[in-house]
Amino acid sequence: MSESEDDKYRTGEETLWEAASRSDIPLIVRVNETYENEDYDDAGWFEDGMELMVEGTRSIPYARVRVLDVHDEEQARKAHYDDFVEEMQMFLDQMYLMPMHVPLKLKLVTRPGKPNKYTSIAQVIEDMPMKLLVNRDVISIPPGGGHNTLVPANTVLTVKRVFTCSIDKARYLQCSFASQHVSFKETLRVQFSAIGNDSLYTMHY
């Protein structure tokens, strides 16, 4: 096919997003500049002139993150290196988009100033710590009826979610311990404490 005939089958330059949005999948595209995808390992090196078949698309959720200051400078230097604090200042308050599925290990941090003792479930819902220590026996009454569950003192609860019951329209806090799930109405009076959490998570957790 001559160059002029080939031109009949070409369109103007577009981004991959534009091309995929305007055309039916699958479609064939030609790379017009060399590009290295550095977002993930082994994700590809695309050379100028390479033709690709786009077989499908998918949406990737992102988390918007902001870099905070170093709270305990001495501890940070001990844990990392002497220039760590100064280098982090270069990124202070910078905003980034991070793919939720990036396999980056994270540890949850509770900074000083947040409450660590709660006298009602409403307070827990407002703060949403990851782990709770039960300081006094409490009864879990499931919404809509069912068997009540005694949660004894010194039980460690993992906070799971907040939900609204369709029957009484009240909010409930769902937690788990051992292999059980328990729910507490937001008006319930309790004696709970937030405790540290050394677990590692990913952004998708």
**176 is written with which tokens?**
């788990």
- Mean pLDDT for the chain? 80
- Bridge partner residues of 163 (DSSP): 172
User: How distant, in Å, are the alpha carbons of 115, 154, 158, 199 from that of 193?
Assistant: 9, 10, 12, 18
Domain regions of the chain by residue span: 3-54, 62-101, 117-198
Q: Which of 146, 140, 148 minimizes the C-alpha distance to 167?
A: 146
For residues 189-195, average pLDDT = 93
| pLDDT, mean of residues 25-50 | 72
Kindly calculate the radius of gyration of the chain based on its CA atoms and give it in whole angstroms. 26
pLDDT of residue 136: 95
Average pLDDT over residues 3-29: 65
- Which stretches of the chain are DSSP H helices? 3-7, 16-22, 73-79, 84-89, 121-127
Q: What is the mean pLDDT of residues 39-46?
A: 58
Nearest-angstrom CA–CA distance, 38 and 99:
13
Q: What is the mean pLDDT of residues 177-200?
A: 87
Question: φ, ψ for residue 190 (rounded to 5)?
Answer: -140, 175
Residue 130: pLDDT over 90:
no
pLDDT in tens, 137-175: 999 988 877 789 999 999 999 999 999 988 888 999 999
Chain position carrying tokens 């799971």: 160
Q: Which of 2-6, 30-34, 161-165, 178-182 has the lowest mean pLDDT?
A: 2-6
Characterize 57-85 residue by residue with b for buried, 16 or more Cβ atoms within 10 angstroms of its Cβ, and e for exposed.
eeeeeeeeeeeeebeeeeeeeeeeeeeeb
